[in-house]
């Protein structure tokens, strides 16, 4: 376990706070703060059922866990670069490993491969992941110019729980990146065209009926309990019914976003150097179907 000290706190204290404008400004309930620590490039935040937040720090090849009490713990430090993270309904931590071209699941001391190939070819570089009661959805773009693309394009895939079959569920995107869902809908940010799309989710996990959800899209996504969609571009842009209603400007280029805390009323924004926390009076949506208690703790 690694804990961060006074020097790391000093950087966060000197960093300008995010600037919230538009309809969301009235929902801010206090000053923004930063998560304890110094992170060269943080990514992939995801909330555990008890309110803790996991996030990746790509250059240091580590995964961290912010506890609701305020402490930050390093939970994985094995030299492997990770990106998108998701805690599933089963309490398991799902992890995108872009340079090993796979998605894995970490359950206590056990690690298993969820997906590393499709149709006989290895994946490009899994980027972001979302998990429902049906299974695991992940995006597979290709950003590294020095890495050959092994698939015939950049797509979205699905693996049902209890199955090893990797199913391509969306092949109509240019460069899918951020992903989040609800019981009946999946949202995917297409960095290739700068838009975010919504799909209907069928009982078998497949997708249909693509519609435009937001005229913006690059990286991470999250939803709040009122149905607003938070889209990360060069800032965090908030959409309601397809209309842009708010923005959050940060002192760094943000990479991803999620709601955390015991009541899901703290917005976490990852990016360069620090992870910001913005307290709100609106809660994040519970974006996974689960019978698991919200007070239970994930396994790792």
Q: pLDDT tens digit string along 105-135? A: 999 889 999 999 999 999 999 999 999 999 9
- Cβ-proximal residues to 231 (8 Å cutoff; 6+ apart), any chain: 178, 189, 196, 214, 216, 217, 218, 221, 237, 238, 239
Instruction: Dump the DSSP string for 62-116.
Output: EEEEE-TTS-EEEEE-SS-----EEE-TTSPEEEEETTTTEEEEEETTEEEEEES
pLDDT band at 98 (very low <50, low <70, confident <90, very high): very high
Structure-model confidence comparison of residues 287 and 194, the more confident one: 194
pLDDT of residue 150: 84
Q: What is the mean pLDDT of the chain?
A: 89
* Residue 286 resides in a domain: no
pLDDT value for 170? 98
What is the predicted pLDDT for the residue at 147?
A: 66
Q: Does residue 186 belong to any structural domain of this protein?
A: yes
pLDDT confidence band for 81 (50 / 70 / 90): confident
In the chain, % of residues over pLDDT 70? 89
Distances (CA, A) of 299 to 5, 68, 109, 220, 293: 26, 16, 9, 24, 13
Residue 148 counted as domain residue? yes
User: Which domain covers residue 260, as residue numbers?
Assistant: 6-279
* Residue pLDDT, tens place only, 157-214: 999 999 999 999 999 999 999 999 998 999 999 999 999 999 999 999 999 999 999 9
Q: Is 241 exposed, middle or buried (0-12, 13-18, 19+ CB in 10 A)?
A: exposed
Contacts 24+ apart (CB under 8 A), 201-210: 201/132, 201/134, 203/134, 204/134, 204/160, 205/134, 205/135, 205/137, 205/158, 205/160, 205/167, 205/169, 206/158, 206/167, 206/169, 207/156, 207/169, 207/170, 210/170, 210/172
**What φ, ψ does residue 29 adopt, rounded to 5°?**
-105, 0
Answer yes or no: is 132 within a domain.
Answer: yes
- Residue 284 placed within a domain: no
CATH number at residue 74: 2.120.10.30
pLDDT at 146: 61
Percent of the chain with pLDDT over 90: 73
φ/ψ (deg, to 5) at 43: -155, 175
d(CA 82, CA 59): 9
Q: What is the mean pLDDT of residues 72-88?
A: 90
Q: How confident is the model at residue 80 (pLDDT cuts 50, 70, 90)?
A: confident
**Considering the domain boundaries, does residue 287 fall inside one?**
no
Number of domains in the chain: 1
Domain assignment of residue 71, yes or no: yes
Reported as a pLDDT band with limits 50, 70 and 90, residue 37 is confident
pLDDT at 14: 60
Tell me, yes or no, whether 96 lies in a domain: yes
pTM, 2 dp: 0.91
């Amino acid at each position: 376990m690694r804990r961060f000290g006074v020097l790391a706190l000093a950087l966060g204290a000197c960093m300008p706070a995010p600037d919230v404008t538009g309809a969301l400004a009235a929902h801010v309930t206090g000053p923004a703060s930063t998560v304890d620590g110094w992170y060269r490039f943080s990514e992939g935040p995801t909330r555990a059922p008890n309110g803790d937040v996991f996030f990746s720090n790509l250059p240091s090849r580590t995964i961290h866990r912010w506890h609701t009490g305020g402490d930050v713990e390093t939970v994985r430090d094995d030299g492997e670069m990770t990106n998108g993270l998701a805690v599933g309904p089963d309490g398991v931590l799902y992890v995108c490993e872009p340079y090993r071209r796979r998605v894995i699941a970490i359950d206590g001391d056990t690690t298993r491969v969820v997906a590393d190939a499709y149709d006989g070819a290895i994946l490009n570089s899994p980027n972001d992941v979302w998990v429902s009661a049906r299974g695991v959805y992940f995006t597979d773009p290709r950003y590294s110019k020095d890495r050959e693309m092994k698939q015939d394009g950049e797509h979205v895939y699905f693996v049902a729980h209890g199955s090893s079959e990797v199913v391509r569920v969306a092949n109509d995107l240019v460069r899918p990146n951020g992903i989040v869902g609800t019981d009946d809908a999946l949202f995917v940010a297409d960095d290739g065209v700068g838009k975010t799309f919504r799909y209907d989710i069928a009982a078998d996990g497949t997708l249909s009926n693509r519609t435009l959800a937001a005229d913006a899209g690059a990286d991470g996504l999250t939803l709040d309990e009122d149905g607003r969609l938070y889209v990360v571009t060069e800032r965090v842009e908030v959409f309601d019914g397809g209309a842009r209603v708010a923005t959050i400007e940060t002192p760094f280029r943000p990479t991803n976003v999620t709601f955390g805390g015991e009541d899901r009323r703290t917005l976490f924004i990852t990016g360069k150097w620090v992870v910001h926390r913005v307290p709100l009076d609106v809660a994040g949506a519970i974006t996974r179907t689960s019978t698991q208690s919200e007070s239970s703790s994930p396994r790792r």
